Amino acid sequence: PENIGIHGIEVYFPSTYVAQEDLEKFDGVSQGKYTLGLGQTNMAFCGDREDIYSLSLNAVNNLMEKFNVDPNSIGRLEVGTETVIDKSKSVKTVLMDLFAKHGNTSIDGVDTINACYGGTSALHNALQWIESSYWDGRNAIVVAGDIAVYEKGPARPTGGAGVVAMLIGPNAPITFETGLRGVHMENVYDFYKPDMDSEYPRVDGKLSISCYFRAIDNCYNRYAKTFEKKYGKTFSLDQVDYALFHSPYNKLVQKSFGRMLYNDFLNNKNDPRYASLEAYKNVKPEDTYFDSTLEKALTALTKNDYANKVAPTTLLAKQLGNTYCGSTYSGLLSLLDDKSNELVGKRVLTFSYGSGLAASAFSFKVEKPIDNIVEKVDLKNRLAKRVRVEPEIFTEKLSLRETRHNLKNYVPSDSTSNMFPGSFYLSSVDNAGIRKYDRA
């Protein structure tokens, strides 16, 4: 099989959001800290009617309806998430409800977990399955997303919620470049979830940022080696039409694109284009993660390229917040929505990061027109239909989730009247912890 990639894509996000400018006032931080300092606009969140099962049911169900997917045409379904509500049963098994009723129980794959990286691991598994001797000719669906919530404090505005579902198969309009990948993984405690009685992670923000940059440095250069081997020419950002990043918050994406240019400089220190970085010729990369002088120089050097190559990927991450496993793929969808058929023939370099840590860089190209995909997703109209709620309500809903976490024998109390029509929602959890769903 050739040209393995994405035939269809869909995102599900909750119908309510809180505005970051409202949160700044509510939290009593300086004006601009979340909107300019973090670069975020709005944040999606869930009350107690939605969980990772309902979000994923919605993403997959809507993908199948919009793209007319025959349930029997799917041979692999994988979920990447870190929103764990059961220590054993995978989200994937819940999604089997959508297929078993049509007679298809022959679908391989389960969940993949590592912070924000599970979605990428699931995607790579699906691509490699189709390339392998185990492939049976059917398509795959990859689900990537999370409900990202933090306890009150500086990390709370970097939450979010959303799930992306992708239909993967051969002869696709959006194809992954075979053989090109740079991987970096190591054992660190930058963000992790050892508290089974809480949804919240433990996070060392500064450490997570330095880990993210170190992962970029390594993945970018390792990807470059595979590129040079495959195409026999030097790799740099000149070969990249668009750059797509896992986006915890937009400011980190701006800095990360600069970080890629910094690696181009390290690989070609005498290129006159990088004259403003002269002072960094002999500084170790690991000593520059929080060097604001270097950051400023890189921001200046990448200003135009950021606007052209990165900004078109950022809509959903600014509107939904960090969707953890869904973040990179919500960026992919934002790019498709923004550029549509202009993307034909273009290369998109992608960087995916999950704390703990697991990261990789890889790339895809758009080979055929995609305006039919963009039309079906109808992204901007759907975003416009969301309801903005006050930070007080947002805070109440997160407190409600805290009391409901791990609880059994209850009926959620949140209203379902604001939900997008037809959406799955949690209707009850019984004594034995078995969850039931209904549709709005």
If DSSP codes are grouped into helix, strand and coil, which group holds residue 262? helix
**Residue of 355, 360, 363, 423 that binds ligand ACO (CB under 6 A):** 355
Residues whose CB falls within 8 Å of the CB of residue 256, separated by 6 or more in sequence, listed in order: 212, 213, 216, 245, 351
Of 82, 124, 199, 325, the catalytic one is 82
Closest CB to ligand ACO among 22 and 108?
A: 22
Query: Tokens for 74?
Result: 């799917």
Minimum distance, C-beta of residue 248 to ligand ACO, in the bound complex (Å): 3
Among the candidate windows 41-49, 73-81, 205-213, 379-387, which touches ligand ACO by CB under 6 A? Answer: 205-213
CB 12 within 8 A of CB 62: yes
Between residues 36 and 440, which has the closer beta carbon with respect to ligand ACO?
36
> CA torsion angle for 102, 103, 109, 112 (degrees, to 10)?
40
188 contributes a contact to ligand ACO by CB under 6 A = no
Catalytic residue among 116, 211, 219, 325: 116
Q: Give catalytic status of residue 65 as yes or no.
A: no
Nearer to ligand ACO among residue 112 and residue 158 (C-beta)? 158
Q: How far is the CB of 251 from ligand ACO (least distance, A)?
A: 6
The least CB distance from residue 208 to ligand ACO, in Å, is 4
In angstroms, the CA 297 to CA 284 distance is 17
Q: How far is CA 203 from the centre of its chain?
A: 18
* Of the candidate residues 89, 181, 222, 251, the single one contacting ligand ACO (CB under 6 A): 251
Q: How far apart are the first and last CA of the chain?
A: 40
Q: Does 16 bind ligand ACO (CB under 6 A)?
A: no
How far is CA 197 from each of CA 53, 135, 256, 405, 438, rounded to the nearest angstrom?
19, 40, 34, 7, 26
CB distance 40 to 321 below 8 Å = yes
Q: How far is the CB of 168 from ligand ACO (least distance, A)?
A: 24
Instruction: Rank residues 129 and 353 by Cβ distance to ligand ACO and give the closer one.
Output: 353
Size of residue set near ligand ACO by CB under 6 A: 22
Contact call for residue 149 and ligand ACO (CB under 6 A): no
CB 315 within 8 A of CB 334: yes
Q: Is 2 a catalytic residue?
A: no
- The answer to whether 165 and 59 have CB atoms below 8 angstroms apart is yes
In angstroms, what is the minimal distance from the CB of 327 to ligand ACO? 7
Which span (40-48, 167-175, 248-256, 259-267) binds ligand ACO, by CB under 6 A?
Answer: 248-256
Contact 132, 98 (CB under 8 A): no
Residues shown for the chain: 440
Q: Which residues are annotated as a binding site for CoA?
A: 208, 251, 255
Q: Is 82 among the catalytic positions?
A: yes
Can you say which residues are annotated as belonging to the binding site?
208, 251, 255
Of 12-20, 29-37, 231-239, 379-387, the window that binds ligand ACO (rule: CB under 6 A) is 29-37
How far is it, in rounded angstroms, from Cα 322 to Cα 314?
A: 11
Taking CB under 6 A as the binding criterion, the range among 14-22, 134-142, 203-211, 300-308 that sits at the site for ligand ACO is 203-211
Contacts of 21 (CB under 8 A, 6+ apart): 31, 34, 35
Binding flag, residue 207, ligand ACO (CB under 6 A): no
- Choosing from 19, 116, 143, 379, the residue that interacts with ligand ACO (CB under 6 A) is 116
Report d(CA 354, CA 127) in Å as an integer.
20
Contact status: 33 vs ligand ACO (CB under 6 A): yes
Say if residues 167 and 141 touch (Cβ distance below 8 Å): yes
Which residue numbers are catalytic?
82, 116, 246
Residues in the site for ligand ACO, rule: CB under 6 A?
30-33, 36-38, 116, 154-155, 158, 191, 203, 205, 208-209, 212, 248, 251-252, 322, 355
